[in-house]
Structure 1
Amino acid sequence: MSFKIITDSTADLPDSYVAEHDIIVLGMTVTVGDDSYETVGEGRLTNDTLLAEIAKGKKVQTAQVNSGQFLEVFKASAQAGEEVLYLAFSSGLSGTYQSSVMAREMALEEFPEAKITVFDTLAAASGEGFIVEEVVKLREAGHSVEEVVSQLEHLSTHLQSLFMVDDLNHLALGGRISKAVAVMGTMANIKPLLYVDKPGTLQQAGRVRGKKKALNSLIKDTLEGMDTAYSKVIVSYSGEDATAQEIKACFLEAGVQEVEVRPLSPTIVTHTGAGTIAIFSMGRNPRA
């Protein structure tokens, strides 16, 4: 194996995939009320537990991967003589990328010959995972880190990440919209359509009345913007997966060759709540 791939738990990669491709996944921490939970390993926080606690009115918040966690992994790889590539959760949504940069500098002070590359995917959830999977394919085809990085900018800037949040109150708690707008929007059955922009931040693309219309809009926008060279879509959800499975069927009927359904990670669900749908694909054009 030419280099080790590292990412974080927000990438929403299946455990089986992580094990098969020997990927290191670092976990965010989620605090629910007075209790803190890890998002990787045994006893990690599940969405069922998180959503049940949210329904009880518990306050929830997340903490980024800190520089100490990165330093430990970077030093271990340096001691083993492994070259590493860390694919980071968007710097527009978390300070995790900055923590990895600090840790890289500290590791190089002790191991100046170490080969440690960090890359800001400017993506979230299975959008980040989408990029990780493309990097795995490149690694398995024999590409070096330098060759992979030369292609990563295209992958990152062309990734389409479209979201529909069912519960406006979570956007209000996160400061994305005002509480007044959340109340009025809920009463009017308004569903905000969101996307991840070029700097990797979450932006509102529009508002649609009714969940069905909102989901149809996400499907339509995804299909219209897709790069046919990447006939792959990942549909992510929080709560029940029935809606996500219906969306998968729509994409398969439209001719998309590969469609996967995955749960959103607790880190993301903390900020979006239940009923969120996110659709990830590779676009023909760079994101705005």
Structure 2
Amino acid sequence: MKYMIKLFTDTDTDITKQEADYYGYKLISMPYLIDEKEIFPYEDFEEFDYKSFYDLLRNGVLPKTCAISPAKYIEYFEPEFKAGNDILYVHFSKAMSGTFNAMELAYEELKEKYPERKLYTIDTYGITILSNIIVKEIGDMCLNGKSLEEILKWANDEVKHFATYFFADNLKFFKLSGRVSNVTAAMGNFIGVKPIIFMDENGMMTNIGKERGRNKALKKLVEYVEELIVDPYSHRIIIGHSDAIELAEKLGEMLIEKYGQNLKIEYVVVNPTAGSHCGPDTIGVAFYAKHK
């Protein structure tokens, strides 16, 4: 890139440490708590042991999540500003967390000390796999030498065209987190209904339908892809799961049946912070679409 720009993203985008290193991103770790112990992904561990984590949830452990402080953001940002670098931070949906208020407070404080430095942000209007696909697209652009201006223009034009649809197998975790209404969560668990959820244009999760059982829910995800996908071979497709690789691969096979072997499908594990809200056995797909 032409400018001294340091890329940042956060762990809620499902980017692994290895992928962050490949693209040149620094990772901001979004914490979760188990038994009141705060855990920072890729700071407190090198690799996410997702099977152990989701087994804990299956066995009754209920993690909590929390926003990071302005001081923590300063720890991330100040070394770059001090080195004379500006920052481009590609982050999960601002509408979903108060942590970005802390980010703005940190930036205001840092501007007093480093008035010439800039923090540029790109809101992915999503979380997990929706953010993941956008973070990787921007990473590809950086590796291909695109300028900051080109990337910001691309984001302004294109972020709205990435869509995600998913369902949770057990809505207890959404119920406890307040992400799905209590009535919907209770009904879903009681009669085996799988609400279909998508990220709307404001970056919030919205329930848009329901299917009975996993197979019908998977078929519904495929229907949404068929309805909305644009040029399926020009962009990667991300299939995400929270320790449900067999279901994820089944969804991938269903898409390959529709579009052939040339699809660029990547399988991604939902990060522990977001996984604390969705629980195990959640399945979703993110892709380039006509609209969200």
Report if TM-score (shorter chain) is over 0.5.
yes
Q: Secondary structure at the match of 1:284?
A: coil
Which consecutive unaligned segments of at least 5 residues does structure 2 have?
Answer: none
Matched, 1:126 2:129: yes
- 1:139 and 1:80 mapped to 2: Cα distance? 20
Per the alignment, residue 114 of structure 1 pairs with 117
Q: Give the one of 146, 151, 161 matched to 1:143.
A: 146
Which residue identity lines up with residue 274 of structure 2 in the other structure? Answer: I
Matched, 1:71 2:74: yes
Contact 2:34 2:63 in 1 (8 A): yes
Distance change (3 Å), C-alpha of 1:102 and 1:34:
closer
Which residue identity lines up with residue 26 of structure 2 in the other structure? Answer: I
Alignment: residue pair count: 286
Contact 1:88 1:96 in 2 (8 A): no
> Which moves more between the two structures, 97-106 or 21-30?
97-106
- 1:181 and 1:141 mapped to 2: Cα distance? 45
Q: Secondary structure at the match of 2:290?
A: coil
> Which moves more between the two structures, 179-188 or 18-27?
179-188
Q: Give the one of 226, 230, 242 matched to 1:227.
A: 230
Q: Give the one of 255, 260, 275 matched to 1:251.
A: 255
Distance change (3 Å), C-alpha of 1:137 and 1:181:
closer
How far has the Cα of 1:251 moved from its partner? 2.1
> Which moves more between the two structures, 109-118 or 54-63?
54-63
- 2:231 and 2:182 mapped to 1: Cα distance? 40
- 2:177 and 2:285 mapped to 1: Cα distance? 21
Q: Secondary structure at the match of 1:248?
A: helix
How far has the Cα of 1:181 moved from its partner? 4.1
- 1:11 and 1:178 mapped to 2: Cα distance? 24
Q: Secondary structure at the match of 1:92?
A: helix
Q: Secondary structure at the match of 2:57?
A: helix
Q: Give the one of 261, 272, 275 matched to 2:278.
A: 272
- 2:9 and 2:231 mapped to 1: Cα distance? 27
Which consecutive unaligned segments of at least 5 residues does structure 1 have?
Answer: none
Per the alignment, residue 40 of structure 2 pairs with 38
Which residue identity lines up with residue 287 of structure 2 in the other structure? Answer: S
Per the alignment, residue 103 of structure 1 pairs with 106
Q: Give the one of 8, 14, 22 matched to 1:20.
A: 22
How far has the Cα of 1:11 moved from its partner? 0.9
Task: Using structure 1 for the length normalisation, give the TM-score.
Answer: 0.92
Identity within the alignment, %: 24
